[in-house]
Structure 1
Amino acid sequence: MLKDEIDSLAPGRDFSRRGFVQTAVGSGFAAAVLPVTAQAIATDAKGLEAGPVTIPVGDFAMPAYRAMPAGKTRPPVVLVACEIFGVHEHIADVCRRLAKQGYLAVAPDLFARHGNASAYTDIPKLISEVVSKATDGQVNGDLDATVAWAAAHGGDTSRLGVTGFCWGGRTTWLYTAHSAAVKAAVAWYGPVARAYHPGDKTVIELAASIHAPVLGLYGAADGGIPVDTLTQLEAALKSSGNAACEFVVYPDTPHAFFADYRPSYRPAAAEDAWGRCLSWFKKNGVA
């Protein structure tokens, strides 16, 4: 069970207060995260091309949310990997924030084959029926297809970054190990010592395959991601010859500290981490 996700949610559900279940990818908030707090950030789409798109993966039409600067030629590309709750309004907002910085940001619904993650209110059921079925092989293939789609729709994938949150934070590490095309990555509180599907490897076990610079952003009070697991990963990366990765661990900070729509949000840590994220991409050729 994803205790870190469960603990970071407010007790109870109020479906009438500032939240609504999404009906299309990137719209509304997931049922499991309601009620949405008053501090939720809303980024407008002024000056952007933004909205749902469809990405072909073989014969499967994968839904996704894309945002990019209107009229900009060949912007750098950032893949955005969602939490277990799917591509809801917060993930779409992150895409718009990145687009405002000049990126083509795209968040594919990596759970779409298995169900609508945003419709679940029971988190253990969501994990068993949807999340656990998204194997690492499937996820990597879907992200490969997303990169190809971005290249065909105006993005410069020679400047490719990836970022993600919780499950998507692990996915960020995972895809950086998989794809030599990734120039830089930023992983937000992604578990490194566990996998979600039987037979898949942990990030620590994949350390030798991670060659691009990754910035790991974590909270010291995250009950689901012990700090000692980050120390283990850092040692594994260095022993495999990758000294370019860095970790920032915020004291007294919980899981999902960037999730402004949830009670776990910590504005100071979130603002600092967002600045570090943008600087990391620029420093490492994704700009």
Structure 2
Amino acid sequence: MQPIISVTGVSKRYATGFEALKSVDLDIAEGEIFALLGPNGAGKTTLISIICGIVNKSTGTITVGGHDNVAEYRQARALIGLVPQELTTDMWESVWDTVSYSRGLFGLRPDPAHLEKVLRDLSLWEKKDDKIMTLSGGMKRRVLIAKALSHEPRVLFLDEPTAGVDVELRRDMWEMVRGLKADGVTIVLTTHYIEEAEEMADRVGVISGGEIILVEEKAELMRKLGRKELAIQLKEPLSAVPGTLAEYGLDLSKDGHTLTYAYDTQAERTGITRLLRDLDTAGLRLRDLDTRQSTLEDIFVNLVGNGR
């Protein structure tokens, strides 16, 4: 299946010599939720802006729905909805007027029913006649989302959509994204809140220093790079790890009551079974067992920290 977004060899070099993107290749499948993660200055917003036609690329090609985003920019842009980081709308307009205007920019006929659904889904219907300047920051963010959805795009870019907003809006955003995905809309999300990517994404891309360093199915990424820890709580404290258990690389807590065994998620469970058997052979009595798995944030920090 042809990807709905295809980025090939895209770079961006400014007149100062700074290279914001370095020959980026990326395909995004139709109907998926793709999370693009990276530290500040990694190139996330630059890449999104180039795909959306806001910033000119230095090299490479981009297609959206099979349309070259330069040669066929009208067709490509019509498929895209963008929710930018910054609030960019006329504060004197009403909510209804600004959302209606955004739809009209794409040459579409008025569709009050569609706009009403969008505003209701974003809890904006009761505010439709209010001027944007009177809204709270969270409500203004909802208006940006409504504007991006006004022309029924097939791809929605959410650039740090919940930065600085309340928990309620974040929860509403997640619910809205699930609904859009169910309708076949492709979602591209950039975020500093890694729990959002962990909660929502089908695939995860990591960008650092203008380069895509990893693209992976989220579940597969967790399986391949995640680690688990088994905390073994002992009934009687130890002063040191028995020599017969040295091969497991166990860490002993300061109070001597807990042994911690770290292992890859790919490790066979027979390894844990063997460890428990060897603990029994060593005469250690167990009080409790507890496991912890790496989060996506742990993996992300490790990848970026290693410059992979």
Is TM > 0.5 for Structure 1 vs Structure 2? no
Identify the structure with the greater strand proportion.
2
| Rg larger for | 2
Normalised by the length of structure 2, the TM-score is 0.29
Normalised by the length of structure 1, the TM-score is 0.30
